[in-house]
Homo-oligomer: A and B are copies of this chain.
Amino acid sequence: MIKKILIANRGEIACRIIRACNEMSIKAVAVYSDVDVDSPHVLMADQAVNIGSANPSESYLNFDKIINAAKETGADAIHPGYGFLSENGAFAQYVKESDLIFIGPEADTIKSMGDKAESKQMMFEAGVPTIPGSDGELVGNIDSIARDIGYPLMVKAAAGGGGKGMRVVRNEGELDSSIEAAKNEARNSFGNDTLILEKFLDNPRHIEVQILGDKNGNIVHLYERECSIQRRHQKIIEESPSPAITNKFRKKMGEAAVKAAKAANYSNAGTVEFLYQEGEFYFLEMNTRLQVEHGVTEMVCGIDIVKWQIRVAQGESLTFSQKDIKQRGHSIECRIYAEDPSRGFLPTPGFIRKMILPEGPGVRNDVGVSEAQEITSSYDPLLAKLVVWDSDRGSAIQRMDLALSNFVILGLITNQPFLRDIMKNESFQKASFSTNFIDENFKDWDFPALDPQVLALALLSSKASQAQISSSAESYSPWSNNRGWRQGV
């Protein structure tokens, strides 16, 4: 049985995992970089260890510092959260070799799923739908390969990334010139002009399925999440169930995800991401870790995913099977980011001068920051996840809008006003959207014109009290010596 877990992460997800540990009577060890000394995850943990400077490679990404902190504090397991080392197969292996339990799938699984080509091939062989394409290097009769895949399609540099060497081909007439252009661009960008062809989905939804497996071969899915509302290819609003699919289709996707997980010999929590368009779905990738948006699944299925991660990591079997898992009602998550939606979602560091969270029935706050905290530019700008549940999608949207309107945060620009506008958007309310939703509906979003009352209130404001402004950096800190820290019993 696990007695003490080191959480190799920070922010809201570290807090989330510490809570689960506390509730399971497991001690929680936080690690923190210099700038995070007063962060909530440090204050919530039973012990905390300073692991270096703000630069992630010297702290949250540093294998040895994390393993050493675990050894020093007598932890017997490491939970990587999401991001940082969570999908690093070498780290998972190193944890195991250090005689610690890695709370996640096996290192080999992480590695295979991390290689996009290998994972796609594995899923294709397992019979999971993948995006039709030229199956490797484009040779032979290109016209006929293209016809087999069907238009529109995408020509891509095999070595590519970042949109370079990529062309959408709408019809046969565009094929030759697009291949020529992509080839040139690929040669110039990557020194390699190998191309592949793939079906192009111009209006897809991003729908993913939550997977949970134990070490005894039991794998279930916890149904799907709709994650199409994205900006810059990053999700900002997620919900469960997806309003786009029927129950029959839902079952089919769930079964495909379980098939994918079985093919990958999966244990612990994971997510199979699909693209969905016009009644077809295609494997996109598998995330071998806890997902940011796991909360909406927990609300709808009534299963605590983090607690189950810990249980299966210590060898326990799932106590339920697929037929026991039921979706109930509807859950939506909004990610509250320190970013400016009127300027391309630029991150906006600052100092949280005041924060009041929404409360009430069906409202869940997963928060990683607190009042009087400096939000630095060192890390991801995610401040909090606001999750609501209600009996149906319409009610959940209204609950979310009310909760957002009760979310007070002063001291930095956040996407809160933007999220409220999305809740009021008709296409969102009708669930008629794809991953292009933000571009199509909010391309030139600006903050609203000001009511004179706002200006009056602004000009009536007084300076914050000195206490709130004072920086925490100068205060005496027991952690600066890299000492362990224990909260009294």
Contacts and interface: CB of A to CB of B under 8 A. Distances in A.
A304 B395 CA distance: 10
B361 A366 contact: yes
A295 B364 contact: no
Contacts of A259: none
Contacts of A307: 395
A302 B488 contact: no
A391 B324 CA distance: 13
A71 interface: no
A390 interface: yes
A24 B302 contact: no
B360 A399 contact: no
A217 B364 CA distance: 36
Given A361-B304, A398-B24, A451 B488 contact: yes
Contacts of A364: 359-363
Interface in A441-467: 451, 453, 465, 467
A96 interface: no
Nearest to A25: B398
Nearest to A328: B302
B23 A488 contact: no
Given A361-B366, A465-B467, A399 B453 contact: no
Nearest to A405: B22
Contacts of A187: none
Interface string A304-329: 10010000000000000000000011
Contacts of A295: 361
B304 A391 contact: yes
A181 interface: no
A308 to B, nearest CB: 10
Copies of this protein in the assembly total 2
Interface in A255-280: none
A456 to B, nearest CB: 11
Interface residues of A, number: 36
A19 interface: yes
A15 B451 CA distance: 27
A402 interface: yes
A298 interface: yes
A367 interface: yes
A196 to B, nearest CB: 42
A304 B402 contact: no
Contacts of A469: none
A23 B357 contact: no
Interface string A358-396: 011111111100000000000000000000001100010
A22 B403 CA distance: 10
Contact of A23 (B359, B366, B367, B398): B398
A303 interface: yes
B19 A391 contact: no
A329 B302 contact: yes
Contacts of A298: 361
Contacts of A303: 391
Contacts of A302: 328-329, 391
Contacts of A16: 360-361
Nearest to A21: B402
Contacts of A24: 398
B467 A19 contact: no
Given A19-B361, A303-B391, 19 more contacts: A16-B360, A16-B361, A19-B360, A19-B402, A23-B399, A23-B402, A25-B398, A302-B329, A304-B390, A328-B328, A359-B364, A359-B365, A359-B366, A359-B367, A360-B364, A360-B366, A361-B366, A362-B364, A363-B364
19 contacts: A15-B360, A19-B360, A19-B402, A23-B390, A23-B399, A25-B398, A295-B361, A298-B361, A303-B391, A304-B362, A304-B390, A328-B328, A357-B359, A359-B364, A359-B365, A359-B367, A361-B366, A363-B364, A451-B488
Leading 8 A-B pairs by shortest Cβ distance: A359-B365, A23-B398, A19-B360, A22-B402, A302-B328, A23-B399, A302-B329, A23-B402
